[in-house]
Chains A and B, each alone.
Chain A
């Protein structure tokens, strides 16, 4: 359950943001009728885009100016393929920005955990504490000090300490998982 509250909040927020997207007004640029007309006689191929509704999405409404004279229009239009497409540019924008921000936050947290925290802990507690537990020798992985901090932080029971306690428990869990997956190759080959 460690880190669970934070994870839960993220998911609800993501759900809410994306549910709100469904009610967004459509951007008028987000619908189009695309007609692709291949080369015909001596006219080269062309692509026509126009902002029309679905019932008007056919060759006669979209292709203008018509490159061929009157009697050939039917033959020309028979070879054209018209498709109605719509998209939601707001959805795309919000999704990409949310994804990039989550990725950025994870990267920052990862940099903090792997690089910054060991340096801070080394400065605060000195070299001797690190060499104590022999599990940490050769263990250059993140969360290497979780055992120590876990043992130390059971004294007071206020919110900040609870959060740190939960975080240390989570780090222990991840360390166990990492041992079984990466080191002993017990689970997940």
Chain B
């Protein structure tokens, strides 16, 4: 594929339309990069720039620009990620309300925005205003009654189906990589895997547009995981503008780690939590330089989102709470119970979801993605509408559950029996007995909890962008709030029991059910994703209160312990295993006592290793070898008798070099001898022209001896990011261990199916 831009001199502007020339430094799709080579290429580039910078002022300025390009990329990523998150939030706000009604004065306003300027809201009906009308009011001019309810119900379902169908069609036609959460694939990409197009521009556009559609359709999913994918797409886009990052896959992954931090930062309004999430969950190698740059990107993104101000009150997240009521030591017991619940739910969710996704992968269910999405949306909409807690969007539900009840609330959850003579300020309302509304709310919440637990299992993993954070937090918040109300009523009615006597006097504000909801949300999220530090930091950045760190930590630690007792993997690692990605987890410990000989190929009884010799193979022999096998590389030895190792040659580079040589160099024919030595010997005059391939040879391949314990080998693979490692004994080449072999061996040792590792 010759570069057409060279032939057609006038096409400079149109060069981006041409196919990129596959040169020697690029990698094939679905292959792993060579971290060491990328690092040495970057060091070479840096050294060249530094040495040239002493020559002239212009070169010096270029070296400064090169040093600053990293910060420029971070700034641009933060700006674009914040902007896209703001657009998504505003559009979701509007489209969610579109299912129920429309604003007549200005159709682009959501319910709350429509009634913003109205003076006709009353205390009891603070949501109603004449400018915003439900669909039944608009179509048949009735707002109450059975026919109005049925018409609203029907239109709700229709809108939900319409949004979901549009979303899955757009994904299917334009960008199939835009489905799912994105975090398992990004984890794999950051560990060195190449998936071309996964972080492309069309994926970015479609993921943003369809994310709004699916969140508005009322499905039980969130937008945090997809926002990480969107931010990484932005990172990929901006890093392709600078050659420092576009030509070096290792440096590009540093930018992607920072972009992931910016993504979480705008999703939760938690910059520090975002950096820690990127460090703990998403990134593979995280040098200190990336830490500072990630923080910068996360801050810029959070600042951009705040200036767009999607929620109208300078807050970044819909459920930012700010109360400061203290908690008591005796409450640690229900918090730990919530932690246990979170761990159990996490285990249940992971097992069921993986089983369902496996069924989708292997049976006929996977052949009907569009039908599946429509069916799940229909079921969700039909069951969600009657229950007021599931009818509204999940973020609003969590916001209501997190908030403490003041004297001004009109929701059923806060229908406490108020003392009319009470004159306390709003933040210090003492515990009150529950009115009938609270009991109704409790069983509605219980039904909503069961529904959400079941439906999220089927929703996560469909062929639409779907995140997991918000549904897990909703499940935890509902459970926590119910426990909190229970403890509160117990404390009110039995304040003379020994457990309450010390800290809960009658007339004091002892128990805050909103805090229990927060702790429950943290427990469930930790149980499913197995996050530790980042979870606690995100939760306390969400609440703005440092005094709740201990309850959050207690719940997070308990849920992680309980969940780890049943299975070591979080949801993202489980999906990585399900898809067979070549991800060598840094968290796994390898404690078996196998040696390198047990894992290396060829095993006893297999064909011997395919090697190249340094000066005795012809071009035809090499081409035959390449055609007959599908190995990614071949070791080069001195000769077939003494198998002493010279180096390692990659398959792709051999193919390209031979093809180049046949086209460009004179005299290279099938009988030409291939030389990997430094100086090919003098040849008689009428022998064919030799082909010198020393420059594509890697002269320093990693070798271990056959008695090296596999523990060390796995450590080397992890720490250096190797793709293959050669095994020698007394200097002679015995075999090769590739990353796939290591992963299969680890799977075998853990009694899993070693054939599930699919990629190299």
Contacts and interface: CB of A to CB of B under 8 A. Distances in A.
Interface in B1-58: 4, 7-8, 11, 14, 16-20
Nearest to A46: B123
Contacts of B180: 188-189
A46 B119 CA distance: 11
Give chain B's interface residue range (CB within 8 Å of chain A): 35 or more
B113 A75 contact: no
B701 interface: no
A84 to B, nearest CB: 8
Contacts of B307: 22
B575 A99 contact: no
B630 interface: no
B461 interface: yes
A189 B94 contact: no
A189 B461 contact: yes
Nearest to B177: A177
Contact of A91 (B94, B118, B172, B308): B308
A3 B169 CA distance: 19
Nearest to A14: B83
Given A7-B205, A99-B212, A173-B197, A1 B425 contact: no
Interface stretch (B84-92, B720-728, B732-740): B84-92
B226 to A, nearest CB: 13
Contact of A79 (B90, B213, B362, B407): B407
A3 B202 contact: yes
A110 B169 CA distance: 8
B87 A11 contact: no
B724 to A, nearest CB: 22
Contacts of A5: 16-17
A61 interface: no
A47 B123 contact: yes
A157 interface: yes
Chain B at the A interface: mostly helix, strand, loop or mixed?
helix
Give chain A's interface residue range (CB within 8 Å of chain B): 35 or more
A114 B579 contact: no
B112 to A, nearest CB: 10
B209 A189 contact: no
A106 B123 contact: no
A174 interface: yes
Contacts of A98: 87
A19 to B, nearest CB: 8
Nearest to A51: B117
Q: Which of A3, A10, A45, A99 has the largest number of chain B CB atoms within 10 A?
A: A99
A11 to B, nearest CB: 7
B542 interface: no
Contact of B173 (A44, A85, A142, A189): A142
Interface in A75-96: 75, 78-79, 81, 83, 85-89, 91-93, 95-96
Chain A at the B interface: mostly helix, strand, loop or mixed?
helix
Contacts of B758: 186
Contacts of B369: 182
B45 to A, nearest CB: 23
B121 A47 contact: yes
A153 B201 CA distance: 24
A107 interface: yes
B209 A110 contact: no
Contact of B174 (A15, A88, A106, A159): A106
A75 B205 contact: no
Q: Which of B195, B201, B362 has the largest number of chain A CB atoms within 10 A?
A: B201
Given A103-B209, A185-B361, 10 more contacts: A4-B16, A15-B83, A36-B123, A45-B124, A81-B408, A88-B309, A107-B170, A159-B11, A159-B14, A188-B179
Interface of A: 1-5, 7-8, 10-11, 14-15, 18, 21-22, 29, 32, 36-39, 41, 44-47, 49, 75, 78-79, 81, 83, 85-89, 91-93, 95-99, 102-103, 106-107, 110, 113-114, 142, 157, 159, 162-163, 165-166, 169-170, 173-174, 177-178, 180-182, 185-189
30 contacts: A2-B17, A8-B201, A11-B80, A11-B237, A14-B83, A18-B83, A32-B117, A38-B408, A39-B123, A46-B122, A47-B122, A79-B426, A88-B309, A92-B113, A93-B108, A95-B86, A96-B90, A103-B166, A110-B169, A114-B173, A157-B11, A162-B17, A163-B17, A174-B173, A174-B175, A187-B185, A188-B176, A188-B179, A188-B185, A189-B361
